[in-house]
Structure 1
Amino acid sequence: MQITAGSLTRALFGVGILAFLARPEWFEPVLRLLVEQNMPVIYLQGNLLSLLLQHLALVLAATMVAAILAISAAIFVTRPVGSDFLPISRSIVSIGQTFPPVAVLALCVPVLGFGNGPTLVALILYGLLPIFENALTALRTIDPAVLDAARGSGMSEPQKLMRVELPLAMPLIISGIRLSAVISVATATIGSTVAAKTLGEVIVAGLQSYNYAFILQGGVLVAALALLIHDTLMIVEYRVQRLRRPLSE
């Protein structure tokens, strides 16, 4: 297997992140250059690994819910019974892109209180559009000859959907899920402003105290998490694409 410069760089970056999470004190001499004398260098108000895992759990939960809602909506509007609802469906899934996440948080806090709840709602709303549009495009661009062959073989509409349409559409759907998840990783950081346990807590603490070491720690961990999710879903997308080929032939 050929090792590219990009993959080697990402591997070294990943090793550095794991080393920092395991032994953050090793990086203290470098981070010390970013702060004034007597300021803390390593964020110790919360465990960084725990914050990263909670950040990841929040993103995965939001992405899963957004995927279920968006894919279901795309399936519905590509059926004859639901085609008239396409414009309103597009308007609904675009809400998250219309209103900034901060506004959604402000509206949700009085109802859901502080914590993960408002952040989860904001991430779900923000993640709907990429998945919906990709699923819609994938389902609408399937070769009609393939669908006719499925009908000719005696498949019912549900069977055709599950055995033919969704498998063929899955690579593009996963691409939308990947985009949604990466966006959610970045967006979740603002959840710390309403007491959600995310890596944004480290960044906010750095901004409040003018501690650039904290800001760098939080930012690098968020970037690492985004790369991890992106690359993992790229691998899944590639493998699904390979499995898809026999169906389309």
Structure 2
Amino acid sequence: MRWPLIIRLLVLALLIAFLVSPESFAFLLRPLIKNGQPAIYDRGSLWSLTLSHLAITFAATTMATIVALSLAILVTRPFGAEFLPLSRSLANIGQTFPPVAVLALAVPILGFGNAPTLMALFLYGLLPIFENSLTGLTTVPPAITMAARGMGMTGMQRLTRVELPLALPVILGGVRLSTVISLATATIGSTVAARTLGEIIIAGLAASNTAFVMQGGLIVTALAVLIYDGLSALERFFVACTRT
């Protein structure tokens, strides 16, 4: 077993242990507090906040993946090539408007809570997935698609059996990037009453409690690293599959 894997497993074990029994780690955070402040966030369950944070992140990424991949497939078909500029403009919307601005615009329509945060993360995550999907689908070797056509495959069969499997590693790269961006950005959702780990950070900033800020930031960082590594491993697996 390689050392990097051991380290990642140790980080995962420590993260789970902290979320399940945070009071066991209070002694590490007490040097950061003052005036009798609590060392561990005590206004909600860390485990519950983490699950809610992950649920919002993965829901937004799933929605962004479906829409972005569908757009990429559309514009790489002969009948949809003319929609490429429009599709790219749509995918760029989230990058044009910062998530905070999207939240400000969405709250009057969707109200407070998870919905505006989900909308902001969805829009923000479109571009990486769209661009990677477009790159993956347009770089499939023409000889392979010609061979598939020569075997009598229909357009749908070529897409599902040849193009998408070959493009999958590149598409996953976009999904990985979008997921990590959404995971970090989701913390701002707590400003509009979404249940995310940003709640801990905001509470810490409001009360000048460095321990709260530290634990919220560390949980998000650990999740980002673990998810990034997990999706990278999945990407490498599919790259290996395409070469065999």
TM-score by length of 2: 0.97
Inter-partner Cα distance in structure 1 for 2:22 and 2:114: 27
Give 1:245 deviation, angstroms: 2.1
Which stretch of the first structure deviates more once superposed, 137-146 or 10-19?
A: 10-19
Task: Report the counterpart of residue 202 of structure 1 in structure 2.
Answer: 200
Out of 17, 21, 27, the position equivalent to 2:15 is 17
2:51 is equivalent to residue 53 of structure 1 = yes
Inter-partner Cα distance in structure 2 for 1:96 and 1:105: 11
Task: Report the counterpart of residue 37 of structure 1 in structure 2.
Answer: 35
Give 1:223 deviation, angstroms: 0.8
Give 1:239 deviation, angstroms: 1.7
Out of 178, 181, 188, the position equivalent to 1:180 is 178
Inter-partner Cα distance in structure 1 for 2:229 and 2:21: 25
**1:95-134 matched pairs, under 5 angstroms:** 95-134=93-132
2:226 is equivalent to residue 217 of structure 1 = no
Q: 2:35 is paired with a residue of what secondary structure?
A: coil
Out of 83, 91, 94, the position equivalent to 1:93 is 91
Structure 2 counterpart of 1:157, one-letter code? G
Give the total of aligned pairs.
Answer: 244
Give 1:128 deviation, angstroms: 0.3
Whether contact under 8 Å (2:33, 2:211) holds in the other structure is yes
Inter-partner Cα distance in structure 2 for 1:194 and 1:200: 11
Inter-partner Cα distance in structure 1 for 2:18 and 2:27: 13
Structure 1 runs of 4+ aligned residues shifted over 4 Å read: none
Task: Report the counterpart of residue 81 of structure 2 in structure 1.
Answer: 83
The percent identity for this pair of structures is 59
Which stretch of the first structure deviates more once superposed, 28-37 or 69-78?
A: 28-37
Give 1:26 deviation, angstroms: 1.9
RMSD: 1.1
Q: 2:196 is paired with a residue of what secondary structure?
A: coil
The unaligned stretches of length 5 or more in structure 2 are none
Give 1:37 deviation, angstroms: 2.5
